[in-house]
């Protein structure tokens, strides 16, 4: 991990780092991280303080489905992993063209993937102050690190697109077959419940420490297999966008992204009839549905920002996207809420409860954004 005082000439490999030739990617990453950083609280606060029907509806959409099903908020994490894949052809492809060896690139991919695993452990548990039995080892960062790393290695060592597609299909079909056919002791085969799924059983058997849901972890080890396919979808999209940079072909690329996203949605929702769409298990149908929506969001941002060159509005999100990993981790070490109260509590005290509550969320987001803007102006970006 390093902090650079100058803009990096190349994006990092193990996380969705900025890609200069694709402005829409930074904006989309920032849009995604905006909700992770607390943007969804706007709807929850409005729903709680006003009772407005539309606010209640939106607040519900910004919660995770308890088990089977899909809501927009379930796409937040897969979208981030998908974008790690999109950046790969730009980062790795450019280095390969400059003669960097595959061995050197592979070492960097593995190192950065493992660094994200360690950062995830620290994010969950602090600086190793807990006994191992109380520590949670799976994490969002670990999944990004491991799944992204594996997808990048596939891209590196299997450059033939047909072979990459075979990997993609094999990962999803193989995970489906394993989850449906391999019996779990005391439960049997194909029972996709919290207590009886194969993914949960394997995680309970091999992972040290505690699991997030006691008997299951949504970022567990076995369910990383289909998450690799999520990152591969991003790589496929990145390869399309990196090919033939002539502006005349950009509308065509947008169309291909839209068709690809719709195809994934049709396949995913159809597959969900026999293999339920489930984020906790990261089922193959979930990978396709979340991937389909991710591709469509990339297509929208790409068409607006890179094709139509309407980019001024995206600066707010770009500032967030340039330091996405940093703002995700920083909340564990920086008291942004204290700063927000210090600057805004006095002003908000003059207003009614709904305005105060909503204003507190806006103030917190403003403080976080100001922190990122300061780093942006100083050209300080966290690279992993």
Predicted pLDDT at 382: 80
Range ranked top by mean pLDDT from 112-126, 167-181, 249-263: 167-181
Maximum CA extent, the chain:
63
How would residue 12 be classed by pLDDT, with cut points 50, 70 and 90?
very low
- Evaluate if residue 3 carries a pLDDT over 60: no
Nearest to 201 by CA among 185, 212, 190: 185
The whole-number average pLDDT for the span 51-61 is 92
How would residue 259 be classed by pLDDT, with cut points 50, 70 and 90?
very high
Predicted pLDDT at 245: 59
How would residue 21 be classed by pLDDT, with cut points 50, 70 and 90?
low
- Evaluate if residue 139 carries a pLDDT over 80: yes
- Evaluate if residue 1 carries a pLDDT over 50: no
C-beta contacts of 70-73 below 8 A and 24+ residues apart: 70/277, 70/279, 70/286, 70/289, 70/290, 72/293, 73/35, 73/40
Predicted pLDDT at 345: 81
Predicted pLDDT at 112: 94
How would residue 248 be classed by pLDDT, with cut points 50, 70 and 90?
low
Tell me the average pLDDT of the chain: 89
Backbone φ and ψ for 188, nearest 5 degrees, come out as 100, -170
Indicate the Cα dihedral angle 89, 268, 138, 108, nearest 10°. -10
The whole-number average pLDDT for the span 108-129 is 90
Chain segment 159-187, per-residue pLDDT in tens:
999 999 999 999 999 999 999 999 999 99
The whole-number average pLDDT for the span 302-307 is 94
Give the start-to-end residue ranges of the domains of the chain: 2-383
């Amino acid at each position: 991990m390093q902090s650079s005082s100058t803009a990096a000439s190349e994006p990092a490999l193990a996380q969705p780092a900025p890609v200069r030739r694709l402005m829409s990617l930074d904006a989309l990453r920032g849009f995604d991280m905006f909700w992770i950083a607390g943007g969804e609280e706007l709807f929850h606060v409005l729903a709680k303080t006003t009772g407005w029907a539309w606010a209640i509806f939106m607040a519900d959409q910004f919660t995770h489905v308890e088990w089977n099903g899909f809501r927009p908020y379930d796409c937040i994490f897969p979208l981030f992993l998908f974008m790690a894949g999109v950046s790969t052809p730009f980062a790795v492809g450019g280095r390969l063209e400059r003669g960097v060896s595959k061995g050197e690139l592979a070492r960097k991919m593995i190192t950065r993937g493992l660094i994200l695993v360690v950062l995830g452990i620290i994010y969950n548990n602090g600086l190793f102050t807990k006994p191992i039995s109380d520590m949670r080892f799976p994490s969002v960062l670990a999944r990004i690190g491991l799944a992204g790393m594996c997808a990048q290695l596939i891209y590196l060592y299997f450059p033939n697109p047909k072979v990459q597609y075979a990997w993609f299909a094999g990962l999803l079909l193989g995970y489906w077959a394993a989850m449906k056919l391999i019996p779990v002791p005391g439960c049997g085969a194909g029972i996709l419940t919290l207590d009886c799924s194969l993914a949960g059983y394997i995680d309970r058997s091999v992972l040290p420490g505690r699991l997030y849901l006691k008997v299951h972890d949504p970022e567990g080890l076995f369910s990383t297999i289909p998450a690799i396919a999520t990152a591969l979808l991003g790589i496929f999209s990145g390869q399309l966008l990196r090919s033939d940079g002539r502006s005349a072909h950009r509308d065509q690329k947008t169309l291909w992204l839209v068709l690809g996203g719709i195809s994934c949605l049709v396949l995913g929702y159809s597959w969900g009839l026999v293999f339920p769409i489930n984020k906790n298990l990261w089922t193959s149908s979930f990978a396709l549905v979340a991937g389909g929506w991710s591709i469509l969001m990339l297509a929208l941002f790409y068409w607006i920002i890179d094709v139509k060159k309407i980019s001024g509005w995206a600066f707010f999100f770009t500032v967030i996207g340039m330091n996405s990993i940093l703002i995700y981790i920083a909340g564990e070490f920086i008291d942004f809420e204290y700063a927000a109260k210090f600057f805004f509590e006095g002003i908000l005290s003059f207003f009614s409860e709904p305005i105060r509550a909503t204003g507190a969320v806006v103030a917190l987001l403003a403080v976080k954004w100001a922190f990122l803007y300061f780093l942006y102006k100083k050209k300080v970006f966290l690279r992993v």
